[in-house]
Amino acid sequence: MLRVARHVAAVLRQQLKQKKRLGETGLSNPPYLYKIRRKGGRRFLVLDEYEVRVARRVYELSPDYSYDAIRQFLVSKGVKSRRGGDLGCSQLRAMHLRYVGLLGSGLIPDALKPRIKPNEPGSTAPAT
């Protein structure tokens, strides 16, 4: 899993070095943690703060809980997917990997970075 996250971070850094417009897209459905913003007739991917906050919570809980336990916790808190259904374990894993990759690339704003690091005291209990 860490290898995939490192790869995501490396690709993002490479795109920035090539001075490509990061996120310029022809996609109709953006990847997890992004939403499409239109500007001047063009479409760009921008971070979706709601999904980033969910991914941050998954990141904070993942050292101590399985994806299924995290999913059940999020469902009990009323967290929904883009289409309004419950999040699945595969969605949580994809969000988690992308979040770790974005952390490694430095593209996550400070306000959306983890509040606690995994394996620190106090990181084992899900907050309400």
- pTM beyond 0.75: the answer is no
- Short-list 1, 117, 4, 107, CA closest to 61: 117
Question: Does the pLDDT of residue 114 top 60, yes or no?
Answer: yes
What's the average model confidence in pLDDT over 55-64? 90
Residue 32 pLDDT: 82
Query: Token pair 């969605």 is at which residue?
Result: 91
pLDDT, tens digit (0-9, with 9 covering 90-100), for 76-102: 999 998 888 998 999 899 888 888 888
- Short-list 118, 119, 112, CA closest to 34: 112
- Short-list 44, 35, 74, 82, CA closest to 56: 74
Overall fold of domain 2-112? Hect, E3 ligase catalytic domain fold (3.90.1750)
The number of angstroms, rounded, from the C-alpha of 109 to the middle of its chain's C-alpha atoms is 12
Q: Which amino acid belongs to residue 8? A: V
- Residue 67: phi and psi, rounded to 5, are -60, -35
Under the banding of pLDDT at 50, 70 and 90, the label for residue 35 is confident
Question: Does the pLDDT of residue 22 top 50, yes or no?
Answer: no
CB contact burial 78-112 (16+ within 10 A = b; e otherwise): ebeeeeeeebeeebbbbbbbbbbbbbbbebbeeeb
